[in-house]
Amino acid sequence: MRDLERRGVRAIGVDCFAGNAGFRSRYGKSYLCPNPDSEPAEWAAFMRSLSRNLGSRPVIIPAADIFVSALGRHANDLQADYTFSPASVAVQAKLVTKEQQYALAAKAGFPCPLTSYIEAGEGLDKFCGEARFPCLLKPLTHREWETLPEENPLHGKKVATADTAGELRALYRHAEPLRPKAIVQEVIVGADDAKFCYLSVYGTSGERLGYCVVRELRSYPIQFGSASIVEPVVDEEISGLSDRFLREIGYVGLCEIEVKRDARDGRVRLIEVNPRVSGTGDCSIYTGVDVGWLHYLDLIGKTPAPIDATRFDFRHVTLQRDAPAFGQYLNAGLTTWGQWWRAYRPPLEFFDVDFLDWRVTRQILYNALRALAGGVLRHWHLRT
């Protein structure tokens, strides 16, 4: 919303969680909608009504998995009211589920860790007989474990890890009675700074309109979380693998592909595909490749000429992730105070700190300071 508003485009936010930042932001207006997972018909009706009240056929750009899935389910219902790429909506909806995205990647020849879709303990036993540990367990979509009872150890998690087959089976027992469908996968061994993201946008013609590659310096939670601080790099291997994959599946729109170089053999392997806007994707703007703007122009029939990244001399920070990560890295012995703060040497760009958008930034800074202080206190407590 912020990036499009700065370009002079009227931006409207739609979300089913009233606590999200868009409802406090000065950039555009946000509307509270029904939850498309639990109230699909109501959500589709709300979206049709919103378009007609706006008096236009707006471009629709999902910024969360829940809305990628919803648009995939209701594309036929919404096509008359919104502008999007029907050819790519179905592909994006498939990529939201881990089961289908790894199947598509493997079919297209994108290197992946050993991965298996399971529905019961027998499938897990077969995987354990073939896998190299450590391994991980994750839901088909992260929303599935959000609905587990709060006392369940997997509640709200995106991934759980196990060093042995016994630990993996114990983890699955927490999910099996309520959410038996899951993904089990070998861990790609290595530090967080061996992870990279390919940030890109593809036009309705199938042409790549722009891209950049960023290296993740830290993530939250550590090891398996989202990037908290990144820097742009040139990596032809990662860009080549990602580009071939997206062209192979006929992708159109915005996409983030996260990969990691395995410390055991140096091979690049897929972590996940995010077929939508992402926080890390904001970094592309500062390299000179405004993927959201390019996507918007393409959808309204003004497809721009492809552009290349031109700026690489900065780090991009998501403060609401990086602040709570500090204590975790200290406790794990993966950083020192000096190493941590050296990453904040300018030039810096921030995803979530914008002093022109003070209501959002004030809350971000407050939460970041609390998380930072809490992490430091826990670290000192553990040391003593």
Identify the pLDDT of residue 144.
Answer: 87
Class of domain 114-186: alpha beta
- pLDDT tier at 383, thresholds 50, 70, 90: confident
Q: Looking at residue 76, what is its pLDDT?
A: 94
In DSSP terms, 84 is beta-bridged to none
Mean pLDDT value of segment 352-357: 96
Cβ-based neighbours of 280, under 8 Å, separated by 6 or more? 197, 199, 214, 226, 227, 230, 256, 316, 318, 351
Residue 97 confidence (pLDDT) above 90: no
pLDDT in tens, 233-253: 999 999 999 999 999 999 999
Q: Do domains 114-186 and 192-378 have the same CATH topology?
A: no
Cα distance between residue 185 and residue 137, in whole Å:
7
For helices 98-107 and 86-96, the axis angle rounded to 10 degrees is: 110
Which of the 8 DSSP states describes residue 318?
-
- What is the DSSP annotation of 157-186? -S-EEESSHHHHHHHHHHHTTT---EEEEE
Average pLDDT over residues 264-273: 95
Token digits of residue 177: 């009675």
Q: Distance (Å, rounded) from C-alpha 315 to C-alpha 345?
A: 9
Average pLDDT over residues 339-356: 95
Q: Express each pLDDT in 9-41 by its tens digit.
A: 999 999 999 999 999 999 999 999 999 999 999
**117 membership: H or E segment, kind and range:** strand 115-118
Binning the chain into helix, strand and coil, the percentages to the nearest 5 are 40, 20, 40
pLDDT at 111 over 80: yes
pLDDT at 379: 85
When pLDDT is averaged across residues 218-229 and rounded to a whole number, the result is 93
| Domain segments of the chain as ranges | 2-84, 114-186, 192-378
**Residues 304-329: tens digit of each pLDDT:** 999 999 999 999 999 999 999 999 99
Task: Name which CATH class applies to 192-378.
Answer: alpha beta
Average pLDDT of the chain to the nearest whole number: 94
Which residues, in sequence order, are CB contacts of 88 under 8 Å at separation 6+?
A: 250, 251, 252, 253
Would residue 170 be called left, alpha or beta, if left means φ above 0 and alpha means ψ between -120 and 50 degrees? alpha
C-alpha 33 chain-centroid distance? 22
- How far, in Å, CA of 100 to CA of 129, rounded? 23
| Confidence label for 351 from pLDDT (cuts 50, 70 and 90) | very high
